Amino acid sequence: MSSIALNKEGIDFLLYLYLMKEAEKISGRVVRYLEDKNYGFIESEKGDTFYFKNDRKRQKELKREGKIDKVHNFSSGDEVTFIPAKSPDPALGALASEVRFVGNTGRTILAEESDQKGVLQGTLKKLEDDSWFVIHTTTGVYVPLSISNWEIDLGKTYESRVDQLVGFKLTQTHSLDKLTAILSDRKFSPNFQLLRDHYDDQTTLKVTITGKNQHGYFAKLAFGDFVGFIKLDKNASRIQADEYKQIQKDQEVWVKLQRLQENQVQLPLSFFSLEEQN
């Protein structure tokens, strides 16, 4: 009998410890997460700010123990629970430990609104590390901004409008933890616009061959500072294969754009002909 009583007391004590641990938990929302630095900031329901480190090793342990479903990649808007702890770095503020992901209704609402409206409203923010974000007006979710290498008037478009309301679009809405925004009124260089017209119309471009490797040819476009790569087509016709063999460095050939992405350093090109086709 005494052993049974002792077991019951032990169980009651463990339950007490568990309930005390649960009582320490605080609910909050990730307001900013710096993926490259692996830490972020949480705002509690009372408005206090805590910083946290994303301890993936600890997440894997919790997953093995069955306490969480999967290892989570944190992002702004995440609803979480955590336990306040002593901070090893007072400069960063109070520390949040044992951070557990609960959900992210804010990002779901943001993505749905984007699908419905296209252009959204938010406040433009420049952070201490010179990264750019926009804070969605409806949900308060921080979304990182993507700025193209080919944009112009950056001072007017960005610097002069910090903390002001701007229009923005999401680049995709399928992966909620990888949302990225672009400003709806950004401006591109005339050369990039010309490149976009060629891509949309699938018209040919003149390029100069600058080098080669076993996979194809490096090329420079006839306008702007654009460079590209012509990948050899293994399924090319015999006539086209013969033309490939004739290509030399510094020679001008005609190509088409395979894809056009705003931050591509090297444009993917497909060989069209050795001479301009009318």
Q: What is the pLDDT of residues 58-72, one digit of tens each?
A: 888 878 888 777 888
- pLDDT exceeds cutoff 60 at 6: no
pLDDT grade for 73, boundaries at 50, 70 and 90: confident
User: Mean pLDDT over residues 75-85, rounded?
Assistant: 88
Any residues with CB less than 8 A from the CB of 35 and at least 6 apart, and which? 73
Closest C-alpha among 148, 130, 223 to residue 188? 148
- pLDDT exceeds cutoff 60 at 1: no
Q: Looking at residue 218, what is its pLDDT?
A: 96
User: Mean pLDDT over residues 249-254, rounded?
Assistant: 93
pLDDT grade for 9, boundaries at 50, 70 and 90: low
Q: Which of 117-121, 128-132, 209-213, 232-236 has the lowest mean pLDDT?
A: 232-236
Q: Looking at residue 59, what is its pLDDT?
A: 82
Share of the chain above pLDDT 90, in %: 47
Q: Is residue 146 a contact partner of residue 263, using CB atoms and an 8 Å limit? A: yes
Closest C-alpha among 186, 104, 185, 187 to residue 143? 104
Q: Which residue has the tokens 């229009």?
A: 167
pLDDT grade for 21, boundaries at 50, 70 and 90: low
DSSP state of 145: B
Condensed to tens digits (0 to 9), the pLDDT of residues 136-180 reads 999 989 899 999 989 999 999 999 999 999 999 999 999 888 899
Question: What tokens were used for 142?
Answer: 């921080």
Which of the pair, 183 or 83, is modelled with greater confidence?
Answer: 183
- pLDDT exceeds cutoff 90 at 255: yes
54-58: Cβ within 8 A, 24+ apart: 54/99
| pTM greater than 0.85 (yes/no) | no
- pLDDT exceeds cutoff 80 at 256: yes
Q: Looking at residue 198, what is its pLDDT?
A: 93
Structural domains of the chain in order of their starting residue, each with its CATH number: 2-103 (2.40.50.140), 107-188 (2.40.50), 190-273 (2.40.50.140)
- pLDDT exceeds cutoff 50 at 194: yes
Helix, strand and coil in the chain, % to nearest 5:
30, 35, 35
Q: What distance in Å separates the CA atoms of residue 164 and residue 238, rounded to the nearest whole number? A: 59
